[in-house]
């Protein structure tokens, strides 16, 4: 069964606002500063496309959001947001200059590195990944952890893996020269990897 969190974008945005408070807008402002004008941005696992709605839509970028949740995709389409269905693991990845993944990498453990390499080959310039490194999924209280894991269950699959800063930094550093930027934040870190699409 799908977690209630993913049943409607308005519900999703409300829960995220409560859980993240000011951290979300901090994340969006950082991403907004990283991505230049005049480029094609492909966002995977875009959810309710909040970053696009709040900031990116006001910029000169060609945006396309992707997700697999039909409820989110239908809602985004009715809001005039350019979105399409694409499974980031098994689908053919659309090509972009800048490819973006926010708050979603943990879902694909243990194959996170393989996924990032796949994304690099779909990006001509860079892959930008923002990920929580302190979150309720790794909260010291077992009860809070349980709620967080239930809330983010995808199609009945409970995702218990979460990054902490050490794990995320190790993953980033495994890209060696292809790691262009590592930005630390209060709750989330951002990495920028070199795009490898020729
Ligand atoms: C935790 S939400 C993050 C949404 C958004 N990026 C954000 O930061 O608010 C994870 C998103 O990944 C999507 N997702 C899960 N598995 C996916 C897959 N295999 N391919 C594409 N999207 C997927 C879900 O539908 C959901 O919208």
Return the domain boundaries, the chain: 4-194
Distance 83 CA to ligand 1 centre (A): 13
Which residue in the block uniquely carries the two structure tokens 């973006």?
100
164: tokens are: 């902490």
Higher pLDDT residue, 138 or 123? 123
| Confidence at residue 18, expressed as pLDDT on a 0 to 100 scale | 72
Mutate to test the pocket of ligand 1, among 45, 102, 107 (most ligand atoms within 8 A of CB): 45
Provide mean pLDDT across the span 169-198.
97
pLDDT for res 143: 59
The residue written with tokens 């809602």 in the block is 75
**Secondary structure element (H or E) that encloses residue 129, with its range:** strand 123-132
Q: Is the dihedral of CA 28, 12, 88, 38 positive or negative?
A: negative
What are 94-135's pLDDT values in tens digits? 999 999 999 999 999 999 999 999 999 999 999 999 999 987
* Span 4-194 CATH architecture: 3-Layer(aba) Sandwich (3.40)
Burial class (CB in 10 A: 0-12, 13-18, 19+), 151: middle
pTM of the model as a whole: 0.89
Residue 109, pLDDT score: 96
User: What pLDDT does 21 receive?
Assistant: 73
Q: DSSP secondary structure string, 137-174?
A: GG-SSHHHHHHHHHHT-BTTB-------HHHHHHHHHT
Report the nearest atom of ligand 1 relative to the CA of 16.
9
Residues 55 and 27: beta-carbon distance below 8 Å: no
Across residues 142-170, what is the average pLDDT? Answer: 74
| Both structure tokens of 30 | 């950082």
- Answer whether residue 147 shows pLDDT above 60: no
Counting ligand 1 atoms within 8 A of each CB, the residue from 3, 18, 41, 47 with the most, and so the one to mutate, is: 47
Model pLDDT for residues 14-40, shown as the tens digit of each residue: 777 777 777 888 999 999 999 999 999
69 CB less than 6 Å from ligand 1? yes
- The CA distance from 175 to 41, in Å, is 22
Q: Is 67 in the pocket of ligand 1 (CB under 6 A)?
A: yes
Tokens representing 72 are 């989110």
- Mean of the per-residue pLDDT values of the chain: 89
Assess whether pLDDT exceeds 70 at residue 149.
no
């Amino acid at each position: 069964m799908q977690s209630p969190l993913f049943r409607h974008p308005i519900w999703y945005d409300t829960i995220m606002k409560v859980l993240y408070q000011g951290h979300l807008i901090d994340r969006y402002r950082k991403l907004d500063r990283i991505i230049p004008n005049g480029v094609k941005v492909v966002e995977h696992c875009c959810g309710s496309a909040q970053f696009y709605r709040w900031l990116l839509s006001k910029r000169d970028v060609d945006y396309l959001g992707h997700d697999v949740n039909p409820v989110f995709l239908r809602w985004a389409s009715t809001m005039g947001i350019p979105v399409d269905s694409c499974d980031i693991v098994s689908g053919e990845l659309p090509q972009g200059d800048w490819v973006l993944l926010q708050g979603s990498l943990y879902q694909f453990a243990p194959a996170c590195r393989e996924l990032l390499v796949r994304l690099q080959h779909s990006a001509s310039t860079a892959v930008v990944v923002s990920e929580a490194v302190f979150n309720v999924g790794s909260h010291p209280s077992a009860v809070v952890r349980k709620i967080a894991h239930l809330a983010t269950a995808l199609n009945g699959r409970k995702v218990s893996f979460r990054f902490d800063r050490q794990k995320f930094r190790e993953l980033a550093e495994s890209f060696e020269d292809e790691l262009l930027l590592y930005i630390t934040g209060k709750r989330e870190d951002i990495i920028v990897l070199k795009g490898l699409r020729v």
